[in-house]
Amino acid sequence: MNIDSIQNGIVIDHISAGKGMKLYELLGLDKLDASVAIIKNVHSDKMGKKDIIKIDADIPVDVDVIGFVDPGATVNVIKNEKLAEKRNIEMPNRLVNVIKCKNPRCITSTEQELDHIFKLTDKVNKVYRCLYCETKAN
Amino acid sequence: MRSVIDILDLTPDELMELIETAQDIIANPAKYAEACHGKMLATLFFEPSTRTRMSFEAAMYELGGNVISVTGAGTSSAAKGESMADTAKTVSCYADIIAVRHPKEGSAYVMAKNATIPVINGGDGGHSHPTQTLADLLTIYREKGRFENLTIGLCGDLKFGRTVHSLIQAMSRYTGNRFVLISPEELKVPSYVKKDILQQQNIPYEQTTDLEAAMPQLDILYMTRVQRERFFNEEDYLRLKDSYILNMDKLKHAKEDLSILHPLPRVNEISVAVDDDPRACYFKQVLNGKYMRMALILKLLKEAHNEH
């Protein structure tokens, strides 16, 4: 399967297989007026299978979102069809307005204009908890 | 501005300082009778509560301060759609300190973030209730003389019981304690309490459904009510509400120096006959709660004064 190379844009590589779609949604790429390719289950010597997202536009991507979904992913910035920058991804200590708390008893379910904030409470097990009610993020 | 939203907002040293203040208040009440003269406590209770609100109000009056209060969401601006943030900013103009209870988890945190005066969490849904834990801790300290090397049984609703989670957090900071978690399967302690507190700190604990079998080893038995208001489903509540009832028969297997605590209100989980047993500490616990709230109000007002 061939996907054309991009001239100026972003390639999110080494995404754990199956997480590409979640990343696509959380990065808001569905709202982007540019070509975006999600390539699923690509063969990888290192990972076995991986997902790749190619964005044909030089847009700012929220590395906190990538760090939350899959800290093992890499972000490559392409300029003039060449790799211009490789960004390291880390798990963010705080996530602001990326995901919503699903606890119906949480104050965020009723209080308008409240930021939805999650904090990293267990780096080893990648656990994020709601800042307000401490419910675990799914 | 310093607020107390969770029991872990207070260090072990600060807890001991509060316990010392509370004991001094008990010994010398006259010394504190005007300690908060000219100060105003606002009690904002958006959820039914008798003892916590009255305890805060009694505490402030005994310190010589004044109280203004809101009870029930239906009678406040919250019913008109006012945000928690706006309520916090408004009440900050009238009072020097806030005690808040609200059914939503995290509500006290939001209030503290927006208030310009100290906020004390008087219970935010099933999340946290630090001043109840202060009452529990003073009771344990006065009954046992220590916080270390105790076997603490927690019985009943360990899933939604916020006082249980806070007490486990607080007592986990002292050495040599172990926990016996007694509950029906459906009301077990949430996994985060086990993983993030007990297992992470290698604190010994066991889970059981059998209160009688657990009884002989306990130094403290913390009974809880199965709370109707925490259930979305009435059927589940009715099925689980009578899971554990402590009576004199069950106490036959207990240690002579067991201390029985309960955050109250009680429904039927402790038989009235147990009230006369010297091991029953739950009404002393109510009084201890008032003293600890007095100590906390004093501490936060003093810190706020020093900040200005």
Q: What is the mean pLDDT of residues B183-198?
A: 87
Question: Token digits for A7?
Answer: 């001239």
Residue A54 has a pLDDT of 94
Task: Please tell me which residue, B146 or B236, carries the higher pLDDT value.
Answer: B146
pLDDT of residue B231: 66
- Residues 6+ positions from B297 with CB-CB distance below 8 Å: B36, B41, B56, B59, B60, B63, B65, B97, B120
The pLDDT value recorded for residue A22 is 94
Query: Residue A28: phi, psi to the nearest 5?
Result: 70, 30
Out of B101, B165, B225, B290, which one is annotated catalytic? B101
Count other C-beta atoms under 10 Å from residue A88's C-beta.
Answer: 9
Residues B63 and B175 in one domain: no
Q: Which residue of B has its CA nearest to A112?
A: B83
| B194 and B72 in a common domain | no
Distances (CA, A) of B114 to A5, B127, B252, B292: 50, 19, 51, 25
CA distance B223 to B266: 9
pLDDT score at B82: 83
Does residue B248 lie in a domain region? yes
Q: Which residues pair with B166 in a beta bridge?
A: none
- pLDDT given at position B77: 62
Q: In chain A, which residues have their Cβ closer than 8 Å to the Cβ of B124?
A: 107
DSSP 8-class letter at A30: G
**Does A129 sit within 8 Å of B104, measured CB to CB?**
no
Residue B119, classed as helix, strand or coil, is strand
CB contact under 8 A, A121 and B109: no
Residues B198-233 have pLDDT tens digits of 998 999 999 999 999 999 999 999 999 887 766 667
- Above 0.90 for ipTM, yes or no? no
Tell me the average pLDDT across A88-93: 92
Q: Rounded to whole angstroms, how far apart are CA atoms B164 and B263?
A: 9
B150 shares a domain with B277: yes
3-class state of residue A43 by DSSP:
strand
Residues B262 and B276 in one domain: yes
B75 shares a domain with B144: no
- Minimum distance, in Å, between the CA of residue B126 and any CA atom of chain A: 8
Catalytic residue among B21, B52, B87, B139: B52
- pLDDT band for B9, please (50, 70, 90 cuts): very high
Determine whether B80 is an active site residue: yes
> Quick one: pLDDT at residue A87?
87
CA separation for the pair B5, A115 (Å, rounded): 19
In a domain, B2, yes or no: no
Give percent of chain B above pLDDT 70: 96
**Per the domain annotation, does B1 fall within a domain?**
no
What are B67-122's pLDDT values in tens digits? Answer: 999 877 665 666 667 889 999 999 999 999 999 999 999 999 999 999 999 999 99
Whether residue B76 is contained in a domain is answered as yes
Exposure string over A21-52, b if 16+ CB within 10 A, otherwise e: eebbebbebeeeeeebebeeebeeeeeeebbb
Distance CA B109, CA B32 (A): 29
Q: What CATH number did the domain enclosing B222 receive?
A: 3.40.50.1370
pLDDT above 90 covers a percentage of chain B that reads: 76
Looking at the fold, whether B104 and B36 belong to one and the same domain comes out as yes
The reply to whether B52 belongs to the active site is: yes
Q: For residue B274, is it within any domain?
A: yes
Same domain, B273 and B295: no
Q: B67: domain range?
A: 7-128+288-307
Asked if B190 contacts B162 with a C-beta cutoff of 8 angstroms, the reply is no
Q: How far is residue B263 from each of residues A68, B135, B179, B266, B282, measured CA to CA in Å?
A: 39, 9, 18, 8, 7
CA–CA distance, A96 with A87 (Å, rounded to integer): 20
pLDDT band per the 50, 70, 90 thresholds, residue B52? very high
Q: In Å, how far is A22's CA from the nearest CA of chain B?
A: 25
- For B83, the closest of A103, A112, A134 (CB atoms) is A112
Given this model, what pLDDT does residue B1 score? 86
Same domain (yes/no): B165, B222: yes
Q: Compute the average pLDDT of residues A102-125.
A: 92
Which tens digit of pLDDT belongs to each residue from A10-26? Answer: 999 999 999 999 999 99
B136 and B115 assigned to the same domain = no
Count of structural domains, chain B: 2
Domain locations in chain A as residue ranges: 9-87, 94-130
Question: In chain A, what percentage of residues exceed pLDDT 70?
Answer: 97
Report, as an integer, the average pLDDT of B276-286.
97
Does B253 fall in a domain?
A: yes
pLDDT, position B195: 84
pLDDT at A90 over 80: yes
Could you say which of B84, B85, B105 has the minimum Cβ distance to residue A106?
Answer: B105
CA distance A21 to chain B (A): 28
Distances from the Cα of B175 to the Cα of B9, B148, B155, B212, B244, angstroms:
19, 5, 22, 26, 29
Does B228 qualify as catalytic in the annotation?
Answer: no
DSSP result, B35-72: TTTT-EEEEEE-S--SHHHHHHHHHHHHTT-EEEEEES
Assess if residue B117 is contained within a domain: yes
> Which CATH number applies to A9-87?
3.30.70.140
pLDDT tops 80 at residue B299:
yes
Confirm whether B51 is a catalytic residue. Answer: yes
Nearest chain B residue to A108, by CA: B106
- Report whether pLDDT(A2) > 60: no
Whether pTM exceeds 0.90: no
B196 and B271 in a single domain? The answer is yes
Model pLDDT, residue B125: 86
